Structure 1
Amino acid sequence: MNPKLSLQVAIALHQEGRLDEAKEAYFAILEGDPACLDALHRLGMLHVQQNEYALATTQFEQILSYDPDDVVAHLHLGNCCLRLYKIDSNQASAKSLGKARYHFEQAIRLKPDYVEAYNALGNLFHQQDDLLKAMECYQKAVLLRPNYLDALVNLGTISLKLERMDEAQHYFEQIVALYPSHDAANFQLGNIAYQRKQLDQALVFYEKIPYHLNAQLNMGSIFLEKGLTEKAIEKFIYVLSLEPKHLFAHSNLAALYVTQKDFDKAISHYYEILSQDPDYYTAHFNLGAIYMQQRKWETAAYHLAIAIRLQVNDPDAHDNFATTLLKLNRIDLAKEHYQRALALRPEDEIAAYRLAALTGTNQPEKAPGTYIQMLFDNYADNFDHELMDSLQYKVPEAIHHLACRYLNEQTELRIVDLGCGTGLAGRYFVTKAKQLIGVDLSSNMLKIAEKKHIYDNLIEEEMATALTAWKNEIDLIIAADSFVYIGDMHELLTNAHQALRDGGYLIFTTESGYQQDFQLTDTGRYLHHADYLKRLATETGFEVLELIQVKLREQKGVPVNGYLVMFTNSSASILQE
């Protein structure tokens, strides 16, 4: 067959993607004519296509043995050597790097305006993290050919690494001017705008590349920053339509659904993550937290135990695991994990408080505010149901009944509800109030109370501190099961006395104790002795009107007994005025 015709056949096979057949055809040509440079070039490039860089070097070296000044062979041989170095950058392959540099420089010596060779030499310096030399090579390439895309992209990338944002922006803008839909350039321009907090401008660039996963993920993050939660959810769902197993998108969606309290959807995404990566710590930890909120303690404990195995030094995992163990009545193991949490984070007030409650040692005078916030923020969604339906909770009615005995038909009163929660007690006093004020440390409880439209004002603050806002202004203060988180109530009652006008009332409940003035129990609540309450009344300027033994609620089917207490700050009551 005519050699030219044979080469045309081989080229046609190559172009059609029939690479193995093309390879055989090239070999057949070279068997008859070992010096056929065109066949050697094309066979070398076919090897490159198939990632056979060592074989490709053989072809290009053979070309140079026939023609030492073949600049294209120098370029391709240098690129193959650089590829071999990237694949295996050990000491032995360092020779490949030196060889690559030699051939790039030879190509430039032979052809000083060879832009591809300058770009390739820049890639070599880039590989060595010699960014300034790399930039110099890329700039020479662009100087020779201003619209040379590869070099412009490389210049933008190097400028980012050197934190030269303005220069990077300039190069990527050049690319977008030439190629408006260029993925990398639009993505990096979006990133630069995002980094500069130019969120709307970042969205413009990301929107141009709808199939770029990271750009679409960043759009979701921007929507979150702008408070557009539903748009963020839509964007992460779109990412999953492009890549159904994208872990970051599943993780973001799960976290968003948690904030929306759509736990079923959150759980679904976390389990999808675990189907791909069974040791994904965040999924186990957050599933534990979700099941804690759902009061599914066994399942919560299962995931938190795995989370601890994966990250044994995470104090939050130990804290949460200990809490679930408490609910499962595994007291000794709960103590152990609170101790481990405290060892990892000595300033952990919650772990210290719970450990004190369980061991009876180092007992504080009141619960930390962080404990109250955490406890009731997590409890808020189930609070009304559990107290009213499961625990036979009658304290609000009891407080209201006692107040009515002394207030009779009095209305237009300024009333403060301490530890108001969701408004279970406050709702009974709406008709008696000119102004009804709720005070609580839990933002989640207050959100629920706000929706009920019971209170004229809601204050997120610690009880004793909130009371300092009033001096002789309040007619009635109520506290339904709020003082059980205070051991030493001296400051609280002093501030209550100062807040009440002459003849005002304070009505509250405590759990009854019979040994000490006050005592922290393993429930995390305090017991108070009746004699302590009477003595405290005298010390803070109150008169005891009522101190009645009552059943507060049931706990695991067992009655919880306490005191229903009513103080007045003057012998002249509102009723007598």
Structure 2
Amino acid sequence: MVIGAVPRTAPIPFPDPDPTVALPLSECSACRCADATAVPAVPLPVAALSAATLEEALVAAYAGLGRGDTAAAEVSARAALVLEPDLPEANALIAEILAGRSQFDAAAAHYRVALADGGGPLSWQRDLAAALEAAGHDAEAVTAYREILVRRPDDAATHRRLARLLLRLGESETALEHAREARFLAPDRPADLAGLSDLAEVFVSAGEPLTAAEMLEPALRRADPDGPGLPAARLLLGRAWIALSETEKARRLLVEVLEAGGDAGAHAASLLAGLDGAAGRDLAPAYVRALFDRYADRFDTDLVGRLHYVAPQAIRAALLRLGLADGAPLRVLDAGCGTGLAGAELRSLAGSLAGFDLSPRMVEKARARGLYDELWVAELTAGLAARPGTWDLVVAADVLVYLGDLHPVMAAAAAALAPGGRFAFTGEVTDGDGFRLHEGRRYAHSLPHLHAALAAAGLTLELLEEHQPRWEKGRPVPGFLGVVAKPL
């Protein structure tokens, strides 16, 4: 007899339960249900049990499930377990019923028995992983999901669920790997917004909001306007636009979510309040990263050819005027190195040349130049903080334009420099006392604001001159070039 071949709707009868007789639940060897007060006693016709075969019990169990009578289905499945306690199909059926009652620990125990021989359908392994996760056994759930991927490395749904779990556990990079794989394997699925939102949540929370926006925007255009997952998906897209500094796009979406009410509406209200108080902050790191990851392949051509970018050459010329010379054994850091355009100008001044950038693709391009002794991916202030008191020269060419308040970066540069070290930078200039974000999504800073940030950081100004960092709309952009020093 092949148990797995028993159809769920086979017509073999199995007697209805006798409510006066109950099967001792201690006979459930998988989960010891007798010790779990949440599991009710299950009435079982003992006289019928003695004559029942496994096949009859299983057919009756599946028939009970088929008509939605889980109590009768459990009676018959447990009858099968009395006859054969380790029977995989009966254990899996009971596990399914218990999971439906949110008794996840007991469900997981039965799934383990069902899978004990290393076989069983993949659906049982998926359900075991889900039950472990629902029961709060996260480490075991991770293992269970990974065991599924050993059998089926192309299982997009499991990659997605594992990504979501790893994100919750704080393993963002590994979560992103699985999220990318899920998207690659099923670029147009899952069709339901809830599943798609799970995947988008990983991308938004782990620092790739552009990917989330690319997924959600077309899906929302096709979505049922009355679908239950719509507010949550719109909220996620709003969060993605916020991370990408697309404030107006985010605001329009969040207002729609707010008007719909519910939990998503309350969250939207909080995000809208944050948008209203965001003036003066730096551009979001996720926005800058996404911008330059997309721009990396044509960065050099556009910047040098179309925008007449000459900041690296201008910085080198200024440093030579201040007495630096080729062949100097300086420890040089190219902060926000991009594709390495500044590295070509700095290499001859450096005994060792390091660089970092927020964009991984930019760092790949810089590495391909073969100019740097060391490169890494980091946000600006974090990259400066990585080696305190180390550098003889730090350069930030066309980097300050992505920052609002200059006080934090000047303090970070001062901490990164060795005594007597220099910090050279370029920026765009504006009138007044502070700074402003102009229509090009770049910050311009006033000279009073720059002087105040330098003074607060304890840096001494050695050179400050006019500089045109680039051209836009056929005209040069007004700016400055500065070199400051850390006192000995």
TM range, smaller chain: 0.5 to 0.7
- Separation in 2 of the partners of 1:402 and 1:135? 83
Equivalent runs, 1:41-440 vs 2, <5 Å: 75=13, 108=48, 112=51, 117-126=56-65, 127-130=68-71, 132-139=74-81, 153-159=89-95, 161-162=97-98, 163=106, 165=108, 168=111, 170=113, 188=124, 197=143, 206=151, 217-218=154-155, 255-256=183-184, 270=188, 282=196, 305-306=221-222, 311-313=230-232, 314-318=234-238, 336-337=252-253, 344-345=267-268, 362-406=278-322, 407-440=324-357
Using a 3 Å threshold, how does the CA distance of structure 1 residues 154 and 525 change in structure 2: closer, same or farther? same
Using a 3 Å threshold, how does the CA distance of structure 1 residues 196 and 543 change in structure 2: closer, same or farther? closer
C-alpha distance after superposition, 1:143-170 (max 9, x if no partner): 9xx9xxxx86334422454445565555
Using a 3 Å threshold, how does the CA distance of structure 1 residues 121 and 523 change in structure 2: closer, same or farther? same
Report the residue type matching 2:358 in the other structure.
L
1:547 lines up with 2:480 in the alignment: no
| Contact kept in structure 2, 1:419 and 1:438, CA below 8 Å | yes
Report the residue type matching 1:453 in the other structure.
G
Cα offset, 1:221, TM superposition: 5.2
Using a 3 Å threshold, how does the CA distance of structure 1 residues 335 and 392 change in structure 2: closer, same or farther? farther
| Contact kept in structure 1, 2:325 and 2:349, CA below 8 Å | no
Identity of aligned residues (%): 23
Report the residue type matching 1:256 in the other structure.
F
Using a 3 Å threshold, how does the CA distance of structure 1 residues 492 and 123 change in structure 2: closer, same or farther? closer
C-alpha distance after superposition, 1:116-175 (max 9, x if no partner): 5444444455542125422333246659xx9xxxx863344224544455655555667x
Report the residue type matching 2:352 in the other structure.
Q
- Separation in 1 of the partners of 2:144 and 2:447? 63
Cα offset, 1:479, TM superposition: 0.5
Cα offset, 1:549, TM superposition: 2.1
1:235 aligned residue: none
| Contact kept in structure 2, 1:419 and 1:479, CA below 8 Å | yes
- Separation in 2 of the partners of 1:526 and 1:366? 9
C-alpha distance after superposition, 1:196-221 (max 9, x if no partner): 726897678x5xxxxxxxx6854995
Using a 3 Å threshold, how does the CA distance of structure 1 residues 338 and 385 change in structure 2: closer, same or farther? farther
Using a 3 Å threshold, how does the CA distance of structure 1 residues 402 and 369 change in structure 2: closer, same or farther? same
Using a 3 Å threshold, how does the CA distance of structure 1 residues 381 and 347 change in structure 2: closer, same or farther? farther
Give the TM-score, by structure 1 length.
Answer: 0.53
| Contact kept in structure 2, 1:413 and 1:475, CA below 8 Å | yes
| Contact kept in structure 2, 1:473 and 1:501, CA below 8 Å | yes
Using a 3 Å threshold, how does the CA distance of structure 1 residues 518 and 113 change in structure 2: closer, same or farther? closer
- Separation in 2 of the partners of 1:538 and 1:190? 60
Using a 3 Å threshold, how does the CA distance of structure 1 residues 188 and 568 change in structure 2: closer, same or farther? closer
Secondary structure (helix, strand or coil) at the match of 1:408 reads coil
- Separation in 2 of the partners of 1:391 and 1:168? 63
Secondary structure (helix, strand or coil) at the match of 1:548 reads strand
Cα offset, 1:508, TM superposition: 0.6
- Separation in 1 of the partners of 2:409 and 2:153? 53
2:433 aligned residue: 516
| Contact kept in structure 2, 1:190 and 1:201, CA below 8 Å | no
Cα offset, 1:430, TM superposition: 1.6
Using a 3 Å threshold, how does the CA distance of structure 1 residues 303 and 77 change in structure 2: closer, same or farther? closer
- Separation in 2 of the partners of 1:476 and 1:502? 11
1:262 aligned residue: none
Using a 3 Å threshold, how does the CA distance of structure 1 residues 523 and 339 change in structure 2: closer, same or farther? farther
Cα offset, 1:376, TM superposition: 3.7
1:559 aligned residue: 476
Count of paired positions:
398
- Separation in 2 of the partners of 1:279 and 1:192? 24
Using a 3 Å threshold, how does the CA distance of structure 1 residues 470 and 345 change in structure 2: closer, same or farther? same
- Separation in 2 of the partners of 1:123 and 1:225? 30
- Separation in 2 of the partners of 1:381 and 1:341? 37
1:41 aligned residue: none
| Contact kept in structure 2, 1:439 and 1:466, CA below 8 Å | yes
1:489 aligned residue: 406
Secondary structure (helix, strand or coil) at the match of 1:364 reads coil
Using a 3 Å threshold, how does the CA distance of structure 1 residues 405 and 321 change in structure 2: closer, same or farther? same
| Contact kept in structure 1, 2:428 and 2:479, CA below 8 Å | yes
- Separation in 2 of the partners of 1:562 and 1:524? 15
Report the residue type matching 1:317 in the other structure.
L
- Separation in 1 of the partners of 2:346 and 2:485? 18
Cα offset, 1:411, TM superposition: 1.7
| Contact kept in structure 1, 2:326 and 2:348, CA below 8 Å | no
Structure with the larger helix share: 1
1:532 lines up with 2:449 in the alignment: yes
| Contact kept in structure 2, 1:323 and 1:334, CA below 8 Å | no
Secondary structure (helix, strand or coil) at the match of 2:79 reads helix
Report the residue type matching 1:364 in the other structure.
G
Report the residue type matching 1:560 in the other structure.
V
Cα offset, 1:503, TM superposition: 3.9
| Contact kept in structure 1, 2:254 and 2:268, CA below 8 Å | no
Give the TM-score, by structure 2 length.
Answer: 0.61
Using a 3 Å threshold, how does the CA distance of structure 1 residues 132 and 536 change in structure 2: closer, same or farther? closer
- Separation in 1 of the partners of 2:241 and 2:220? 6
Report the residue type matching 1:487 in the other structure.
G
Which sections of structure 2, spanning at least 5 residues, go unmatched? 1-6, 17-43, 99-105, 130-139, 164-178, 259-264
Q: CA RMSD in A?
A: 5.3
Higher relative contact order (CA 8 A, sep 6+): 2
C-alpha distance after superposition, 1:432-471 (max 9, x if no partner): 2112222333344334433433322334444344444556
Report the residue type matching 2:77 in the other structure.
M
- Separation in 2 of the partners of 1:187 and 1:375? 41
